[in-house]
Amino acid sequence: MSRGFNKNLNLTKEIVLRLAVAGCFIIAATTSPFFMSALIRAYFSKKSRENAWRAAERLRELSKKKIVSVKELPNGEIRVNLTHKGEVLVRQYKLEELQIVQPKKWDKNWRVIIYDIPHSHKNARDAFRMKIKDLGLYQLQKSVWVSPYDCFAEIEFLCGVFDLDLNKHVLYFKTPEIPSESKIIRHFCLRFSKNTI
99-154 confidence digits (pLDDT tens): 999 998 999 999 999 999 998 889 999 999 999 999 999 999 999 999 999 999 99
Q: Supply the pLDDT for residue 194.
A: 53
Q: Exposed e or buried b for every residue in 165-184, given b needs 16+ CB within 10 A?
A: eeeebbebeeeeebeeeeeb
Which H helix or E strand runs over 94?
A: helix 84-97
Q: Is the pLDDT of residue 8 over 50?
A: yes
Q: Is the pLDDT of residue 21 over 60?
A: yes
**Distance (Å, whole) CA 34 – CA 167:** 50
**Distance (Å, whole) CA 162 – CA 50:** 38
Q: Supply the pLDDT for residue 5.
A: 37
Q: Supply the pLDDT for residue 3.
A: 43
Q: Beta strands 144-147 and 110-115: pairing type?
A: antiparallel
**Distance (Å, whole) CA 53 – CA 31:** 17
What does the pLDDT look like over 55-102, one tens digit per residue?
Answer: 888 888 999 999 999 888 888 788 889 999 998 888 888 888 899 999
**Distance (Å, whole) CA 58 – CA 61:** 5
Average pLDDT over residues 155-162: 90
Average pLDDT over residues 15-44: 78
Identify which of 4-8, 27-31, 171-175 has the greatest average pLDDT: 171-175
Picking from 95, 96, 99, 82, the residue whose alpha carbon sits closest to that of residue 20 is 82
Note the Cα 91 to chain centre separation in Å. Answer: 5
Q: Supply the pLDDT for residue 133.
A: 94
How far apart, in Å, do the first and last CA atoms of the chain sit? 52
Three-state DSSP at 177 gives coil
CA atoms within 13 A on the CB side of 141: 9
Angle, helices 84-97/152-161, rounded to nearest 10 degrees: 140
The vertex-150 CA angle with 166 and 168, nearest 5°, equals 10
